[in-house]
Amino acid sequence: MRDASDVHLPIVFEDEVLLAVDKPAGLIVHADGTGAPTLTDLVEDHLGACGHTNARGQAVQRLDAPTTGLVLFSLDKATQPLLDAQVAGHTMRKRYLAVVAGRTAWESRVVDAPMGRDRHDSRRMRVCRPGQGKPAQTRVRRLAAAGGRTLLVVELGSGRRHQIRVHLASLGFPIVGDVLYGGARSKEGLLLHAYAEELDHPVSGERLRLHTVWPARLGSWPGAERLLGS
C-alpha cells in the first residue's frame, strides 16, 4: 500500500479559502474504505503543517486514481456553495490533456453520447443508445501529432464517471495506458492530465486562471503549451 508520507504534493494556488493542487498518479481523492492514502489526507497534512489547524479541505471535484492534475479544495464552509454552484452551472472551465495512439483524421470533435454503467463489468462505464443512460458531452481538439501518437485537449460539458476515457474510446482512440477501455499498456500509466482550470474566486470574484506545470509523463510536445492558449 502506498504511504501518503512519501508523496509530494505540488501546490498550484493557495489562499485563505481555496487550495489547488496537482494530484499525483495512483492516489484517490476520497477514502474508499480500504485504508488507502488519499489526496484529502495529504491536503490535511499540508494544512496542519502550515498552521491552518481550523481549516478543513473539501474537494470541489475529483479525479480517477490514475488521472493526474488539478484538483480544487474549498477551505471555507461559508464560500464552498459558491464553488459548488460554478461546478453545477458549468462556469468552472477545466481542460484536460490526453495522449492517444495514432493520428486523428479530424481536428476537433464534439461527442454527444449518453453514458451508463456497463452491466457486464462493474469497473466500466459505456456509451448508451439514445434515450438511455445520462446525457454526456465532451469537446475534443487536436493539439499535435508525432511519433504515432496524438495530443488532445479535452473539455467536459458534463461530469460523468470515466467520461473522457469512454468518449475517446468510442471514437476509436482510447487513451494510451487505459487498458480498461482498450488502450495500450504504458510504463507512464494513463496519459490523462487535468492541466488548466478557470473559475471565479468565491470571495473576490476575480477570474482565476490556474494551470499545472507541463506533465513530463505525457512526453515532449514542442509548441503545445502555446497552442493551449489558442
Euclidean distance between CA atoms 169 and 113, whole angstroms? 12
For 78, counting Cβ atoms within 10 Å of its Cβ (0-12 exposed, 13-18 middle, 19+ buried), the class is exposed
**In CATH, what number is assigned to the domain containing residue 163?**
3.30.2350.10
The pLDDT assigned to 1 comes to 43
Q: What is the pLDDT of residue 115?
A: 97
29 contacts 79 by C-beta, under 8 angstroms: no
State how far the Cα of 52 lies from the Cα of 38, in Å rounded to an integer. 19
Domain that residue 93 falls in: 4-228
- 225 confidence band (pLDDT: 50, 70, 90): confident
**How sure is the predictor about 4, in pLDDT bands with cuts at 50, 70 and 90?**
low
Would you state the pLDDT for residue 33? 80
How many structural domains does the chain have?
1
What is the spatial distance between Cα 127 and Cα 133, in angstroms, rounded to a whole number?
A: 8
Average pLDDT, the chain: 92
DSSP 77: T
Q: Which residue has the higher pLDDT, 223 or 219?
A: 219
Nearest to 111 by CA among 56, 159, 168, 55: 168
Please determine, for residue 54, whether its predicted confidence score (pLDDT) is greater than 80. Answer: no
pLDDT tens, residue by residue, 80-118: 999 999 999 989 999 999 999 999 999 999 999 999 999
Q: What's the pTM value of the predicted model, to 2 decimals? A: 0.92
Catalytic residues: 64
Measuring CA to CA, how many Å separate 109 from each of 15, 142, 171, 187?
A: 37, 9, 9, 28
**What pLDDT is recorded for position 51?**
77
pLDDT interval class at 17 (50, 70, 90): very high
- pLDDT (mean) for 7-17: 91
Nearest to 181 by CA among 143, 124, 129: 124
